[in-house]
Chain A
Amino acid sequence: MGRIIFVAPLFALIIVAATLLVPGLFRKNQGKVDVLRPEKTLVLKGVNYSEKITIKSYPLEPFAGNTDVYVGSHSLPQFSISGFLHNVYSLDLENDGWEEVAIEVETGHSINSLIYKQRNDRLVRIPISTEILINFEGIVSRNTPEFKDIDRDGRLEMLAYYRFFPPEKRRKVEVYKFTGLLFQKVKEYEEKMTEIYL
């Protein structure tokens, strides 16, 4: 009996110490990422200005994804996009100190990439010359676009990649130049790759 009384407080002490030393050890399911409900926040910078953007995805019935984009402290989304959030990041297309935002959503096995510009306290989508507005916007591909100043004019060009399917290690590249109003396709070519899915 005396041994039980001695062991019980010792066991409790071990539990407390383990909980403090290893956070989450005795907490179940905390911090589990719900892949159907991703959420990200970023701050878009401007000249003497910044704006918080919050992007939240959730499944619509039955499982089609929907992504809401909130600007600033508005409680209602400014707009919604079909698909589940894949990635979001800021970039400065014109190197003018006013950042744009790229939002990538997953639809089926493809990724739909959309670029938005700040205007007052709103986001305005930058059209792409090859899109068909009735049905789809942005770049639809298994890959995500890259932004590079390839003609060294101080502005970023968008390179959209359409990989071939295995075993071919090639991809089609479309080069879009930002005119200030839209991304205009200026070039298209194929290139060899070292990896299949890039």
Chain B
Amino acid sequence: MKLVFEDLTERQVKKRETVSFFVEVSSVYLIEISARAKGEKQLGGSDDEDLKVEIDRQSFPILSGQSRYFDSPAAFSGGKLHGLSKSVFFFIPLTDGLHEIVLTADVSATLERIQVYQIDVREEPFFSSITAEDGDRRPWLTFVFLGVHSKAFSLSVNLQKRFLDSDDVKVVVDGSTKRNYRSILRKFWYFVASAKGGEQSANFDTNFVSGLHYVELWADRMPTLNKIIFWGLSSAHIEPKDATEIIKDKIRFKARKYVFDEEMMLRLAKKESQFNPKAVSPAEAKGIFQLTPITLEQIRNLEYQINDVFDVDQNIEGAMIYFRWLRGLYHDGPELLEKTLIAWNWGQKYISRTEPLNWLEIPDSVKAFVKEVLGK
């Protein structure tokens, strides 16, 4: 598995938060989201914390009720977790380009981490050495399959036997709890330590062919996942995006990073080069944002070194840094973007940093440029 993105900043999610990430290759990806949510008693109120996840506008409802999201196996429900941590692993095919995870909280929730891995389904990815926090029966780990086929999985857990309350693990596949025929009292808990502590393992058929599927592991007390291996993973062919779409995604991604209007930056790149990374003008302006040798030097002085102006990522990053610097020259106000674009096109010395713009003093070609980039 190759880590392609991670966000390890633990934080409270209130209302809604979007996390964007970029992938270079169309492939199956594993997205791990870990969070915790408190119950109403812990909050001293009348509502639990809940957190639901959407990936590229794909929602993850419970399978028996298509409009229920906050109590889905892919969500984090404070009424079940009571403040404990849960991890959800999404197996999902992604095209090369920009992707979005939208986290929507009911009350709030604590996001612990997001990690995105590119996986090779032929390598049969596995997870190991995950120990649950100590707590009573609650959802612990969920594996979500969306458009990814799986034939079976092998599960090995380590359970500790205690005098009063031992470790147990429940296995739920697509809402159906795997029955434990070895125990009458704990028939819904597949692995129980009261009978035999230590390592226990079993194989389960899944035969997920298409659509949305869940494998849930519930924990009672603090079991350890020794290993879970998913067998026979595959997905339908993922059509790669064309080069221009990838460039557009990269511009959107960087525009979000620098808090610019994505559409405006797309219009700027389109105007400069029509997204052609090899574009060269007679004035030696090069690449997607038509950076000139002088602009490149200015960007270098802004502590970003462009080694290859035709490299899509370097050109976009450099252009964003240059644009941010230009924007910072002018006082915040209703004409900030107009002034920034005039400086981009015409040079920053011609316009006042504080006074309102006098459009009569600006060349027609510059006016037309600004108007088009602003989409007016």
A100 contacts B by Cβ under 8 Å: no
The stretch of A11-19, A46-54, A82-90, A176-184 that contacts the partner chain: A82-90
Given the known inter-chain contacts A106-B294, A167-B274, please indicate yes or no for A144 contacting B346, CB distance below 8 A: no
CB of A196 to closest CB in B, whole Å: 7
B125 contacts A by Cβ under 8 Å: no
The residues in B between 339 and 353 inclusive whose CB is less than 8 angstroms from any CB of A are 342-350
A142 contacts B by Cβ under 8 Å: yes
Residues in A neighbouring B334, C-beta threshold 8 A = none
CB of B332 to closest CB in A, whole Å: 18
B298 contacts A by Cβ under 8 Å: yes
CB of B169 to closest CB in A, whole Å: 60
B281 contacts A by Cβ under 8 Å: yes
Report which residue of B283, B346, B349 has the largest number of chain A beta carbons within 10 angstroms of its beta carbon: B283
Q: Mark B270-284, 1 if CB is under 8 A from A, else 0.
A: 011110100111110
Q: Which residue of B298, B345, B360 contacts A132 across the interface (Cβ within 8 Å)? A: B360
CB of A108 to closest CB in B, whole Å: 4
A70 contacts B by Cβ under 8 Å: no
Number of residues on chain B facing chain A (CB within 8 A): 40
Contact (Cβ within 8 A) B290 A109? yes
B301 contacts A by Cβ under 8 Å: yes
Residues in A neighbouring B344, C-beta threshold 8 A = 108-109
Given the known inter-chain contacts A83-B347, A107-B350, A135-B350, please indicate yes or no for A198 contacting B282, CB distance below 8 A: yes
Looking across the interface, which residue of chain B has its beta carbon closest to that of A163? B281
Contact (Cβ within 8 A) B348 A143? no
CB of A48 to closest CB in B, whole Å: 37
Looking across the interface, which residue of chain B has its beta carbon closest to that of A110? B346
A141 to B283, CA, bound (A): 11
B84 contacts A by Cβ under 8 Å: no
A136 to B94, CA, bound (A): 51
Report which residue of A84, A132, A142, A162 has the largest number of chain B beta carbons within 10 angstroms of its beta carbon: A142
Q: Mark B113-130, 1 if CB is under 8 A from A, else 0.
A: 000000000000000000
CB of B309 to closest CB in A, whole Å: 13
Residues in A neighbouring B271, C-beta threshold 8 A = 165-166
Looking across the interface, which residue of chain B has its beta carbon closest to that of A106? B294
Looking across the interface, which residue of chain A has its beta carbon closest to that of B274? A166
Contact (Cβ within 8 A) A132 B361? yes
Contact (Cβ within 8 A) A140 B279? no
A86 to B369, CA, bound (A): 22
Given the known inter-chain contacts A106-B294, A108-B348, please indicate yes or no for A134 contacting B272, CB distance below 8 A: no
A109 to B360, CA, bound (A): 20
A112 to B360, CA, bound (A): 18
CB of A83 to closest CB in B, whole Å: 6
Q: Which residue of A107, A142, A144 contacts B349 across the interface (Cβ within 8 Å)? A: A107
Given the known inter-chain contacts A84-B294, A167-B274, please indicate yes or no for A108 contacting B281, CB distance below 8 A: no
Given the known inter-chain contacts A108-B344, A108-B345, A165-B271, please indicate yes or no for A63 contacting B361, CB distance below 8 A: no
Contact (Cβ within 8 A) B297 A35? yes
A108 to B346, CA, bound (A): 5
Looking across the interface, which residue of chain A has its beta carbon closest to that of B273? A166
Q: Mark B317-357, 1 if CB is under 8 A from A, else 0.
A: 00000000100010000000000001111111110000000
A126 contacts B by Cβ under 8 Å: no
A5 to B286, CA, bound (A): 54
Contact (Cβ within 8 A) B293 A142? no
Residues in B neighbouring A162, C-beta threshold 8 A = 365
The residues in B between 287 and 314 inclusive whose CB is less than 8 angstroms from any CB of A are 290, 292-298, 301
Looking across the interface, which residue of chain B has its beta carbon closest to that of A105? B347
Residues in A neighbouring B173, C-beta threshold 8 A = none
Q: Which residue of A36, A65, A106 contacts B283 across the interface (Cβ within 8 Å)? A: A106
Q: Mark A139-158, 1 if CB is under 8 A from B, else 0.
A: 01111100000000000000
Contact (Cβ within 8 A) B346 A107? yes
The residues in A between 158 and 198 inclusive whose CB is less than 8 angstroms from any CB of B are 162, 165-167, 196-198
A64 contacts B by Cβ under 8 Å: yes
A167 to B365, CA, bound (A): 17
Contact (Cβ within 8 A) B347 A142? no
B362 contacts A by Cβ under 8 Å: yes
B363 contacts A by Cβ under 8 Å: yes
Report which residue of A65, A83, A143, A166 has the largest number of chain B beta carbons within 10 angstroms of its beta carbon: A166
Question: With contacts A140-B346, A165-B272, A197-B279 known, what are 19 further pairs, Cβ within 8 A?
Answer: A62-B329, A63-B298, A63-B301, A65-B294, A83-B349, A107-B346, A107-B347, A107-B350, A108-B342, A109-B285, A109-B290, A109-B344, A110-B345, A136-B361, A142-B285, A143-B282, A166-B272, A197-B280, A198-B282
Report 20 cross-chain contacts, Cβ distance below 8 Å, ordered by A residue: A36-B294, A36-B297, A62-B329, A63-B298, A63-B301, A83-B347, A84-B294, A86-B283, A106-B294, A108-B343, A109-B345, A110-B366, A111-B283, A112-B347, A136-B363, A142-B283, A165-B271, A165-B372, A166-B271, A167-B274
